[in-house]
Amino acid sequence: MDKLSQSELSLLEFIAEHMHSGTLDYLMPVISGLGDLGIFWIVLALVLLSLPQDRARGVQVGLAVLLSGIVCNLLLKNLVARPRPFEFQPLLELIVAAPHDFSFPSGHTTASFAAATVLVRSGWKAAPVAVLLAVLIAFSRLYLNVHFPTDVLAGVLTGVALGFITTKLYSLATGRRKHSKGV
């Protein structure tokens, strides 16, 4: 194991020793579950699609989540092929089922930040709540010992980039130059 992975394991052990509690042990799997397959963001996209004033926003959120799944889960995870933290350190306690895919980058984090970035860029009033949820989902992946910190950081950066790309491509495809309300 390389030095970076070892120091990251130390951070995960710190979280386990100093932050775990009965309440968080209940809440973190629930929060993380909102990111399973991007389900929360897909449902949000469908809700936005049903609202005429938010239809364009819903399309963009859906496209960002789809793009994040392709880039993160189909391409990057298989290219990097990084094992998960609990595979390096069997003493890390898992309170959720062990994921069977690779670790880098975090798919939950990538999808969440891709969707949140679209919502911020489109000027959605509840975008700060979406960003907070994305942050909580990202942290939950560390709390649950299923990702290294660099997996989550890469997920944040990849998600933000994909959110920007989605809004830019949508603007180009629809001839819209501004990312204003409803776009």
pLDDT tens readout for residues 160-183: 999 999 999 999 999 865 544 444
pLDDT at 52: 94
The arithmetic mean of pLDDT across residues 95-116, rounded, is 94
Q: Cβ distance 138 to 156 under 8 Å? A: yes
The arithmetic mean of pLDDT across residues 16-27, rounded, is 90
pLDDT higher for 99 or 117? Answer: 117
First and final C-alpha spacing in the chain? 46
Closest CA to 148 of 113, 79, 99: 99
**CATH 1.10.606.20 correct for 3-174:** yes
Q: Cβ distance 183 to 176 under 8 Å? A: yes
pLDDT at 177: 58
Q: State the chain's mean pLDDT as an integer.
A: 91
pLDDT tens readout for residues 121-163: 999 999 999 999 999 999 999 999 999 999 999 999 999 999 9
Domain ranges of the chain: 3-174
Structure tokens at 6: 């070892």
Provide the CA 122 distance to its chain's centre, in angstroms: 19
pLDDT at 1: 58
pLDDT tens readout for residues 52-90: 999 999 999 999 999 999 999 999 999 999 999 988 877
Give one word for 175, left, alpha or beta, with left for phi > 0 and alpha for psi -120 to 50.
left
